[in-house]
Structures are given as C-alpha cells and as structure tokens.
Structure 1
C-alpha cells in the first residue's frame, strides 16, 4: 500500500525559517547570540581595492542596475570621474561642491553614456567614507583625496529620502555614503567586508554580551518598537543604546529592538541586516498581527528602507496604503514568496528579489520590480487604485 504523507506544514515552516544560520561555538556560553554590529556572514571581499580602481569600457558595460542602483559582480558600487580640469582640480580641494559628482544610481547621465557607447575614465569603488582620490588632467600623476558630493540626478532617480519633493534640499546637504549603502543592503546578497573588532574596540563594555542578553530576556525577547516577539529567533533581537553612548548601560538608556527597527535608528549605518532576516521579521510581524498599517508613517517604519524612495512617490500620489511583508502561499499553504509591499485586493505587489517576484506571479499576482516602480510610480498607482 502506498503511503501518502502531507508535508505542507513542514514546508511552510522551513520556508519561513529561511536558510540555516552559521553558529559559532563558544564553550564558555553556549547560547551567545551575535552582538550588535557583528559583520554578517554573507559579507564578501570587495570587488575593487580600497579607494577604487579605474575601470575599462568593458567593465563599464558590465555594470548593471539593481533597483536602479549600480551593481558589479553582484555587489553595490559607486562611480566617479577622477580627472578634473586644472582649475576645478584646485577648486575641488577648497570646496567639494566644485568637484565631479559621485554616481550612486543609473541616472540619466550614465544611461545616456551607456546607450551612446561613449566612455569616460571612471573609478569604481565601494569606499563609503566620502573621500575620493582625484587628479588634474594636466598633471595626472599628482593625486589628492577630497570629499566629493553625490550626484543629484542619482538622488532624483532613486527619490532617495523623498529628494524629488520640492524643497527637499537637506537630503543632498546631509547625504552619507555609508548610510546610503545600508539603505539598500537588501538588494544585494553580498556586501563589502568590514574589519572585525572586539566589543571594547567598538566602544562596548567587556560585559556587554551578558548585559544585552539579560535585558532582552527581561523584555521577553519582544521588540519595544514594532512589538514583534522573537523567542524563536533571538539573534534577531538587539539591545539599542538610546543616546548612542555604548558604555552607558543604564536601563533607561536601553531598548530591545528587532534587527530591522534597530538598523533604522540614527547613527546605525554600520549594521548589515540581510534580506532573509528582514523577511523573517516581516513574516513574524504578520503572524503575530503587529504589521497593520493605519497611516504612511507606519508603512515607512515597517518597510524595507530600500523602498523609501518608492514610498515617498506613492504617498505624494495619494496611493492606497500597502500591506508590508506579505507572505504568498501556494495551493498547499506553503510560503513560496514574500512581497515587500502588497495590495491583496488587487493582487498587486512589489518585490526586491526576482525569485520572490517569479514565485508570486506563478500564484497569480502582478508583481513589479523596484526599478519599474521608481521609473513609473504613476503606472503602479493605476494598478492599485
């Protein structure tokens, strides 16, 4: 007799869990979760040397756009022209506004260059410190480092922090390359490697792991911002210092925050939260009924930060509020995809990952990429009205 076994419940549980997490054995403390700021195991060596490398036309042609961002060999990069006319070379050393701009997206300028087949001498880099080496075209052997500014066309292409809204000049004035990379980490499976440091080197006290664990336990491993409970995923709950002083461990200065909420706090551009981890948190929020959104601010608070520009477009267009982090199930009730934004009544969604988009389409959803939505937010609005 043939034995029929229904594994749909198991498949659903596995799909929610995501890929297995690597575990570092610590014989002194068998339940030690990763601490705040621990580099993600998915981080990879940079595709270019620190400070960047001049790229060939062939390499320029291989640069792709991922969510309208610049991508090379699966990693996020920046592009800029190091060569300046002599007068601008001198002026750039006095005021960064006089220097060439740094491209962070496939803006109109780069699109025109790629389509026309023209090529300039560009440096590709993953350096996020904000200083870039430049030289005079008349004296290319003489290089200096200066704090170049971001390209405004790129900010407009991404609608970064609502830059396209009239009068939003502060986005350009306060732009941080390090924060920018953090915003879009979900779009890439690999990230530039960071130098490992001890707790003390990061500014924490020696007993921080134990203090953090005790504080999170006192809050029943529940995020004090979004209210998601992470008993089964304790490594995704962090302890946050409200005043930013990492050796001030007084109770009134601590908050238990899930990795997603923690990464959105000011000054936390050193954190890497993987796409899978954000999906896990989004799934648990919905399962625990703490993902409801009554207004746009709640949508911004819960959504992946890489969708910030799109959300600003939708808010300006007065679009219907989306659901955040919707799981898509197949006929066996197994979770096959996660949509970052979704309008279930219209069966329309937005996905960062192409696999999520394809799987959701199989289930009858109309799914758009972030690039499509940023390029034509009005088209998305027509689909969901």
Structure 2
C-alpha cells in the first residue's frame, strides 16, 4: 500500500534552522550484532591456534583484527609480573614463530586472542614458593611479527633499532595503521572517538568545515562531493578547546596521521575515494618518496620502506587502469606502470601483462630485494 506523507512542514523547520544537507554513510552507524563476542574479546578469548585466520598477513577472527598471546607463564610467573619484557611475546602477524608452533603441534599450549588497546595482558602461572599467581603484565611484541610486516621499518634496521621499536610499540597505533583492512573495530575505538567532545560539537564541526569550503587544510583535497570525509581536528589535542584558532578542517586521511590519533579509523573505500579525488585535483601531484608516503594508506608503509631501501623509483598512488575485460577501472594502491607492477589492498584481480600483488605478497616480493641491498 502506497503511503502519502506530507513532510513539507518538517523541511520548512530544517530550512528555518539553517541545517546543512550532507551525504550519509550507513557504515558510520553500523553496529555489529555479535556484541557478546566483542565484550569477551576485550578481556581475552581462548582459541585453537588452527582456528586463526590471516588478513593480509595480520591475525584475524570473525573479521576483527586481533592479537595472540599465551597467558600461562608456568614457574616464571613471579618474574614476569615484575617485568613483562621477560614474558611470552604477543603476536600481531602470522609470523614464522606461529607457523613453527603449528608444525610442532603444540596443541597443549593455551592461546588467547584480544583486541584490547591497553597493552596489558592477563597472565597466570605457578610459583615455586607462592603457588598459583595471577595478574596483568605489559608483554613485549614478537620481533618476527614486526619484521614480517616491516612495521616502522623493523626489517631494515639494526637489532638495537628493532629493540627501540619493541620498547615504543603501541597497540593503539598499530591497529590504526592497519584499520582500513578491517571492517569491524575494537569496542574501545568507538568509546575513544566519542569521549571529550562538547554537546554541540556537531554544529561547531559543521561551521568549521563550511568555512574551509570543504577543503582539507593540509593536503588541499576538495571534498565538496564527499563532505563526510572532511573532519575537524583540535590542534592542541584538547577536545574541550573549541576556540577558532584551535580548530582545523582535515580530510580523514590527514586527520588519522596526526600524533596521538590511534583511535582514528578510515575504511579502505574511503581511502580510495580520497586518493581518487586527490588525483583528479592534482593534489600531491609530485611522485617523489616524501609525497608518496604522505599520500598512501598507512598499511602500505612497510611495503614502501622495502621499495625505497631496495632502490625502486617512487610508485604512483591510487593508480586506475582501464581494461577491456573489466567494467570499472582496476584500482591499485601502488603502481609502477612502466614495469606493469602493482599492489592492491582489495582482492587483486588478474590483468593480462600485469603483476598485481596483495599486501602480504608485496611484503615478501619487495622485502627480498631490500634485504639484498642492505647486505
């Protein structure tokens, strides 16, 4: 049955308020139905190591990025509670150590997964003198994982520099780096994103973006056609300070690359859209290494480091290839058109004459050359 509803009085009120029409993304308000699993995941869920899946080399369960750790520290428990660095390393990637544990059939070991951002892990063990002990410890990240992902260039630095990366490792920062590869976020992300804003933040943000002409004040991409991808950033980090000098309009990509913005999440399709508009508007038109690193998705930093250290020329970012066999252009996050070589974060497609690598494949491919150059 067709319903005839007159909404003209409502629209009249909207116009009277001076409210601004904007585009709407269902993904922003989407809520996953498995709330119980998310609650459990925050505190740690026991898992069979064979049930772990891998997303571009990162650990994943039910579409969520996760960390794997071993809570049982046996007789070392007392020492580890005093010094987390002495404990079992936690894993962020499907590294050679995990593969070794699978091959050795170490099924008696109890593994847990979590997406808690705090860096504090619940552990237990049996002390020789005090019996059963439980507590929390700041465990260290696995170096094999860091090198496999070339996270912060870990594969191409000295042992001492790699130790520094371990000591400074932030789970929140790590999750931010690869957030565009996952559709489901840790619950803490949502809580952090909402915390501290003024009640009228929506109106304040709208005015700042309108005043900026919906142009990012850092990279200069014009987002009039995708207004929701323009954010408002507090320069001094204080969300309660809404003075005009403290507010600046930034695209979602530039915003998440600001310091202390580990809670920022940008979907892969949004990164594709931002870089598509940048290309159309000749934003970041130079193809040098500094420009490419500013423009590319954060998850590609490890690949880019391998490429630069391996002597490759800087690639084109968000390259679109039109072919006769595909209805829409094939989008590659990184591409070397003369070599017919590219990297795609979405499922790579086959294009005759081209080699298109996934993120995991690209880390291996370019990693071999960079390691040879460093020797």
User: TM-score band, normalised by the shorter chain?
Assistant: 0.7 to 0.9
Query: In 2, distance between residues paired with 1:118 and 1:363?
Result: 43
CA contact (8 A) 1:128 1:177 kept: yes
Q: CA deviation at 1:376?
A: 3.0
Kept in 2: contact 1:75–1:191 (CA 8 A): yes
Q: Which has the larger displacement, 39-48 or 309-318? A: 39-48
The match for 1:134 is 123
Asked if 1:174 is matched to 2:168, the reply is: yes
Is the Cα contact below 8 Å between 1:39 and 1:272 reproduced in 2?
no
The equivalent of 1:202 in structure 2 is 195
Distance 1:140 1:331 in 2: 70
Larger helix fraction of residues: 2
Write the mapping of 1:58-77 to structure 2, written as runs, cut at 5 A: 60-77=49-66
Q: Is the counterpart of residue 368 in structure 1 residue 361 in structure 2? A: no
Structure 1 residues 42, 335: CA separation in 2 closer, same or farther (over 3 Å shift)? farther
1:143 maps to 2:143: no
TM-superposed deviation, 1:140: 8.8
Correspondence for 1:125: 114
TM-score w.r.t. length of structure 2: 0.83
> Is the Cα–Cα contact under 8 Å of residues 39 and 196 in structure 1 kept in the other structure?
no
| Distance in 2, Cα, partners of 1:195 & 1:332 | 40
Q: Distance in 1 between matches of 2:83 and 2:23?
A: 45
CA contact (8 A) 1:131 1:148 kept: yes
Q: 1:161 maps to what in 2?
A: 152
Task: Tell me the residue number matched to 2:343.
Answer: 350
Q: Equivalent residue of 1:50, what SS?
A: helix
Partner of 1:50: 42
| Corresponding residue number in structure 2 for 1:3 | none
TM-score, scaled relative to structure 1: 0.81
Q: Which residue does 1:289 correspond to in 2?
A: 282
Please tell me whether residue 31 in structure 1 is matched to residue 16 in structure 2: no
Match of 1:104 in 2: 92
Matching residue of 1:312: 305
Contact 1:263/1:269 (<8 A) preserved? yes
Instruction: Indicate the larger mover: 210-219 or 112-121.
Output: 112-121
| Superposition deviation, residue 379 in structure 1 | 5.9
Return 5+ residue gaps in structure 1 as ranges.
1-25
Partner of 2:7: none
What is the CA–CA distance in structure 1 between the aligned matches of 2:188 and 2:22, rounded to whole Å? 21
Partner in structure 1 of residue 212 of structure 2:
219
Q: Is the 8 A contact 1:42 1:190 kept in 2?
A: no
Give the gaps of 5 or more residues in structure 2.
1-12, 371-375
Structure-2 separation of matches of 1:142 and 1:300? 46
**Conserved 8 A contact 1:68-1:106:** yes
Q: SS of 2:233's equivalent? A: strand
User: Quick check: 180-189 or 290-299, which moved more?
Assistant: 290-299
Distance in 1 (CA, whole Å) between partners of 2:325 and 2:244 is: 46
Structure 1 pair 55–362 and aligned structure 2 pair: CA distance change class (3 A): same
Residue 8 of structure 2 aligns with which residue? none
Query: Structure 1 residues 295 and 312 mapped into 2: Cα distance closer, same or farther (>3 Å)?
Result: same
* Of 96, 101, 110, the match for 1:113: 101
- Please report how far the alpha carbon of residue 238 of structure 1 lies from its aligned counterpart in structure 2 after TM superposition: 0.4
Change over 3 Å in CA distance of 1:140–1:113 after alignment to 2: farther
Cα deviations across residues 49-96 of structure 1 (Å, max 9, x unaligned)? Answer: 32112223xxx212122221111222211111111132x211111122
3-state SS, counterpart of residue 362 of structure 1: coil
Bigger Cα displacement from structure 2, 329-338 vs 105-114:
329-338
Count of matched residue pairs: 345
Deviations 1:328-369 (A, max 9, x none): 333499534321111112221101111xx11xx236531011
Using the TM superposition, give the Cα deviation of residue 252 of structure 1 relative to its aligned residue in structure 2, in angstroms. 2.5
**Shift, 1:42, TM fit:** 5.0
Secondary structure class of the residue paired with 1:376: helix
CA contact (8 A) 2:41 2:113 kept: no
